[in-house]
Amino acid sequence: MCGRFVLRVILSNLAGAFSLGFEVAESDVPVQARPRFNIAPTQMISVIRMAGGARRHSLLRWGLIPHWWKQGRPKIQINARSETLLEKPYFRDAVRERRCLVLADGFYEWKRDVNGKAVQALLHRACG
């Protein structure tokens, strides 16, 4: 995943798709769980995680600070390589015991054009 992403899906539509077991009026949905088009690291994001043997929607802060970090302010990690996820101490315990599904349906990539200017493109799966 990159440094910014998009969530266009409405939470009430996800409840049925993921068997979350609740119905919600759109007016009761927190602003962080509503569709957003420029979600950045350290913001609150919608995730689905297991709790008490059932899938639950939660709002979590995007970024990882490992439970064992004790001194000073750590650099918050937002990306990890899947190939080394279980080997790196920074991610190892979290991926084994505290997984979650980050709800996103698009992400931004920045590339340089022929003039060297950074151009942003939204990448997403085609509907259907």
Catalytic residue numbers, as ranges: 2, 109
Alpha-carbon distance 68 to 19, whole Å? Answer: 33
Q: What type of residue is 32?
A: Q
Q: Is 5 in contact with 107 (CB distance < 8 Å)?
A: yes
Q: In this structure, what token pair is assigned to residue 40?
A: 């950045």
Question: Tokens 């996103």 label which residue?
Answer: 104
Q: Is 6 in contact with 106 (CB distance < 8 Å)?
A: yes
Cα end-to-end span (Å), the chain: 22
Q: In this structure, what token pair is assigned to residue 97?
A: 């015991």
